[in-house]
């Protein structure tokens, strides 16, 4: 597998082999840059290898004027020596085009106890002057183990090497060999990235009698050419850069990749994957006996459920215990990156990572008479899809709980019906802020591997209804003759919106910081304003909406025009977006985190002596994937504005992005509209 199963809901980032830009890698570079740069200062004059020198006059691939660097050449040679040993030769060379592309000269190579890095060297071919060379002795080894909100013990380390003079016009390259003891017989070659690629090569060398299966993701199939005895080679040329766009699938979900599975002539059957079923069988074997309940677990379950009458009450009690009493701490050494610790160990120590918490909860549910199954999934929707060939694109483990007969309830939403297993409730024991019955947005409409004793099955998780995620805002204001608006607001935040607020409050130490989100919201709605009162509700009740209640005063809210007052009925909140207002056409579908429904209901008591002369026209538009309605009306002396914005689909394909752009423009127009107030007739 390429991703260890150790995710905690704290927004993971992809581990890049280079550090650049303002990425997560660049943040790490800032933290450890001093050590890396000291190592790189020992660079000496040297002679670059022939494969790099051949690139000096190589044509630069198609690019735009903002491109920081281009990948002139990359090579990956995988030699399968046995079922327990792989050897990989890696080479790559970039040409730096802009100062902001210097990050390609910082090399990061992750490795663990099953990996050995040798013959590491890097070079810089300047446009003028001597060649710089750095070697393995110049590299710095750093343990970057850190997961927010927990302690992490891991055998994963990072080797950093700084190639000097990574300046515009220069070529920087690296070469190293890597020996691995694989946990499974599969390799993934990602040949597309954020920079254009001129040429990329992949070579596979297998022992006699071995076979392979090649599967392509996000790229047309390329035919392999023979390369020696039982060897094969693929060449890709002129690969466009991945153009980063707002609200797109993760890079790993859109990048061109080759997935190669190896099949020995005999043996090692448990580590060969022809399909999802095989991958599931591998995990079944890996977790065999791990969910067995110890006497201590049996006693705890008996104590917790003794006074609970229904299976649902027992399920809820055990889920809350797992969320709040078992702390997230990942201890992952060797195969521990994929294999959970035994349930007894997790219970004894009261900590574990995602797969550990899923294992213990599964064990406790079994003692309460409820079956459950592992679901291996990626924490970001889009990495694995229905069309994805069998490989490990996963980094997280949750549970599918088999609902006993008669267990129903409006709050059990994250449920699908399996043709053999019946109703399955998906639940994330690691997510402390999402109650049993629901799922956080990134897991919804995502694909995970349902693992049963019979094997694995790629399963789509449910998309929750829009009404379970959003902001319900209700307010009553009074407008003065001078244009000052004052009133009280209550906001109920649901689903991921509530989870985000509760998560943010964990690091808040005083009341002033609690209302920072309100200040950000109001700053987008008023030129000037004052919060005169504010409070939060249900901060610790994850089964209830998170509440903000506050009072505000906004002077000069209504604008005078002669004897008229111009007032915007849409007082608070912005639903429009400029994410599609770009010069370049959209390249990737738009990915929303979840379906959602936002409702605003504002009442404005008009100033004495004023009546409404003109109101904004009502708006009603429905594109299927989303809809928007608003209306302004007057009853007596009260101007009421009511609107609903609903997103029903989380993936908006390219053929619908123009409709989404139109929708946002319609919303923008409605949000700017004003009502005209005039003095009442004498």
Q: What is the mean pLDDT of residues 358-372?
A: 98
Please enumerate in sequence order all residues whose Cβ is within 8 A of that of 61, keeping only pairs 6 or more positions apart, or say none.
70, 196, 197, 198, 238, 239
Burial of 373 from C-beta contacts in 10 A (0-12 / 13-18 / 19+): buried
**pLDDT one-digit tens code per residue, 177-191:** 999 998 888 999 999
Whose structure tokens read 């710095």?
A: 140
Please give the CATH number for the structural domain made up of 467-679. Answer: 2.60.120.1130
pTM of the model: 0.90
505: enclosing H helix or E strand: helix 495-505
pLDDT of 150: 52
258 and 202 in contact (C-beta within 8 Å)? yes
520 and 501 in contact (C-beta within 8 Å)? no
User: Which option is the CATH number for 24-272: 3.40.50.1240, 2.60.40.3140, 3.30.540.10, 1.10.8.50?
Assistant: 2.60.40.3140
- For 264-395, strand residue ranges (E) read 327-328, 330-332, 351-352, 372-377
Give me the residues paired with residue 417 across strands: 423
pLDDT of 534: 93
The dihedral region occupied by 147, where left means phi > 0, alpha psi between -120 and 50, and beta the remainder, is beta
Q: 3-state class of 302 per DSSP?
A: helix
- List the single range of 341-345, 406-410, 479-483, 673-677 with lowest mean pLDDT: 406-410
CA angle, residues 675, 681, 682, in degrees to nearest 5 = 145
Looking only at the bridges linking them, the beta strands covering 422-427 and 132-135 are unpaired
pLDDT of 334: 79
pLDDT at 78 over 70: yes
pLDDT at 516 over 90: no
pLDDT of 296: 98
State the average pLDDT for the chain. Answer: 90
Q: What is the mean pLDDT of residues 40-61?
A: 81
CA angle, residues 182, 183, 187, in degrees to nearest 5 = 60
User: Which option is the CATH number for 278-462: 2.40.50.100, 1.20.140.10, 3.40.50.1370, 3.10.620.30?
Assistant: 3.10.620.30
- For 23-147, strand residue ranges (E) read 44-45, 69-82, 85-96, 106-111, 115-125, 132-135, 140-142
pLDDT of 39: 42
Q: Where exactly are the structural domains of the chain?
A: 24-272, 278-462, 467-679
pLDDT level of residue 30 (50, 70, 90 thresholds): very low
CA distance 257 to 197: 13
CA distance 466 to 444: 12
Widest CA span in the chain: 101
Q: Which of 575, 487, 497, 564 is nearest to 533 (CA)?
A: 487
pLDDT level of residue 194 (50, 70, 90 thresholds): very high
């Amino acid at each position: 597998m390429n991703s260890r199963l150790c995710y905690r809901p704290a927004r993971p980032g992809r581990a890049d082999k280079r550090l650049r830009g303002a990425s997560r890698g660049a943040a790490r570079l800032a933290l450890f840059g001093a050590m890396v740069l000291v190592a790189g200062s020992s660079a000496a004059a040297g002679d670059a290898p022939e494969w790099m020198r051949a690139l000096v006059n190589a044509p630069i691939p198609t690019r735009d004027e903002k491109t920081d660097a281009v990948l002139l050449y990359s090579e990956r040679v995988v030699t399968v020596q046995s079922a327990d040993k792989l050897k990989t030769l890696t080479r790559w060379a970039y040409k730096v085009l802009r100062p902001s592309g210097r990050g390609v000269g910082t090399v990061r190579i992750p490795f663990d106890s099953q990996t050995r890095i040798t013959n590491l060297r890097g070079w810089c071919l300047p446009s003028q002057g001597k060649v710089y060379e750095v070697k393995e002795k110049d590299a710095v080894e750093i343990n970057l183990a850190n997961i927010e909100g927990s302690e992490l013990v891991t055998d994963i380390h990072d080797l950093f090497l700084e190639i000097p003079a990574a300046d515009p016009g220069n070529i920087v390259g690296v070469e190293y060999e890597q020996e691995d003891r694989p946990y499974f017989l599969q390799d993934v070659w990602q040949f597309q990235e954020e920079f254009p690629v001129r040429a990329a090569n992949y070579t596979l060398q297998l022992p006699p009698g071995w076979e392979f299966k090649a599967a392509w993701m996000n790229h047309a199939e390329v035919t392999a050419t023979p390369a020696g005895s039982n060897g094969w080679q693929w060449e890709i040329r002129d690969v466009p850069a991945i153009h980063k766009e707002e609200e797109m699938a993760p890079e790993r979900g859109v990048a061109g990749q080759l997935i190669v599975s190896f099949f020995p002539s005999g043996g090692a059957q448990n580590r060969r994957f022809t399909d999802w079923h095989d991958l599931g069988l591998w995990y079944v074997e890996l977790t065999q006996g791990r969910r067995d309940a110890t006497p201590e677990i049996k006693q705890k379950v008996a104590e917790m459920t003794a006074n609970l009458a229904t299976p649902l009450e027992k399920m809820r009690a055990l889920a809350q215990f797992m969320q709040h009493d078992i702390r997230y701490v990942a201890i992952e050494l060797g195969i521990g990156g994929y294999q959970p610790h035994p349930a007894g160990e997790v219970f004894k120590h009261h900590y574990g990572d995602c797969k550990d918490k899923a294992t213990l909860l599964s064990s406790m549910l079994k003692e309460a008479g409820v079956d459950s199954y592992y679901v291996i999934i990626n924490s970001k929707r889009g990495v694995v899809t229905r069309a994805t060939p069998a490989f490990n694109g996963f980094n997280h483990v949750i549970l599918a709980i088999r609902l006993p007969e008669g267990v129903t309830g409006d709050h059990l939403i994250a449920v699908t019906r399996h043709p053999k297993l019946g109703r399955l409730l998906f639940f994330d024991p690691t997510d402390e802020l999402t109650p049993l019955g629901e799922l956080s947005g990134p897991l919804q409409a995502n694909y995970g591997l349902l693992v049963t004793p019979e094997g694995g099955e790629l399963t789509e998780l449910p998309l929750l209804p829009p009404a379970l995620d959003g902001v319900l805002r209700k307010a009553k204001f009074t407008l003065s003759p001078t244009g000052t608006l004052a009133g009280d607001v209550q906001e109920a935040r649901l689903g991921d919106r509530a989870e985000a607020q509760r998560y943010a409050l964990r690091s808040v130490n005083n009341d002033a910081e609690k209302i920072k989100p309100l200040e950000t919201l109001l700053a987008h709605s008023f030129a000037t304003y004052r919060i005169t009162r504010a409070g939060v509700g249900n901060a610790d009740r994850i089964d209830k909406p998170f509440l903000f209640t506050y009072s505000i005063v906004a002077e000069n809210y209504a604008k005078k025009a002669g004897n008229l007052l111009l007032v915007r009925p849409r007082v608070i909140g912005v639903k429009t977006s400029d994410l599609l207002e770009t010069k370049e056409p959209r390249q990737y579908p738009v990915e929303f985190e979840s379906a959602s429904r936002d409702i605003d209901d504002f009442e404005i008591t008009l100033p004495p002596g004023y009546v409404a002369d003109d109101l904004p026209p009502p708006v009603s538009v429905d594109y299927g994937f989303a809809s928007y309605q608003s209306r302004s009306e007057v009853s007596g002396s009260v101007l009421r504005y009511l609107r609903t914005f609903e997103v029903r689909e989380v993936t908006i394909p390219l053929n619908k992005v123009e409709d989404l752009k139109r929708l946002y423009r319609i919303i923008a127009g409605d949000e700017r509209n004003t009502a005209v107030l005039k003095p009442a007739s004498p």
